[in-house]
Structure 1
């Protein structure tokens, strides 16, 4: 974690994992905010291993980042159509490819 990151790292050495592993269900403190698991709750439980992926899922057909110089009128037109204007511009260019094969 960089020194500019927000939050503090959680040191794993502060947890006595051997003690946690040795605890029985009765040893675990439960309250209204952390009720004990019921058999019904375990029926719907899903086990996940590893870290959660961050960000969007990886696309099967990823787009390529590039820089293109377009006339101000073209940019203004597509931006005026609102959110998703770059996707619409991409669709127009794809349609052009279909109608004007090389």
Structure 2
């Protein structure tokens, strides 16, 4: 497992996720330009690892899909934590979530 190879896939899929997030929300305020978006992190984790498993490790796409379930669950856990923080502390985190 080479972290540099994985970083290539992460960076490309993070940029794709960031563009999707910016397209969905637009820029109603200046702080929406902050490039930390939960949606982009989800796309980076799921798609980046999936492409890495298929391209670099030569894993069949169904097995790669099963391996990506872990990252999907991590993504849902992060989203749940942000929803919990937003509900309990009444903090607007919509610009970080990206939806």
TM-score when normalising by structure 1: 0.20
Q: Relative CO higher for 1 or 2, CA cutoff 8 Å, sep ≥ 6? A: 2
Could you say which structure has the higher helix fraction?
A: 2
Larger Rg: 1
TM-score by length of 2: 0.20
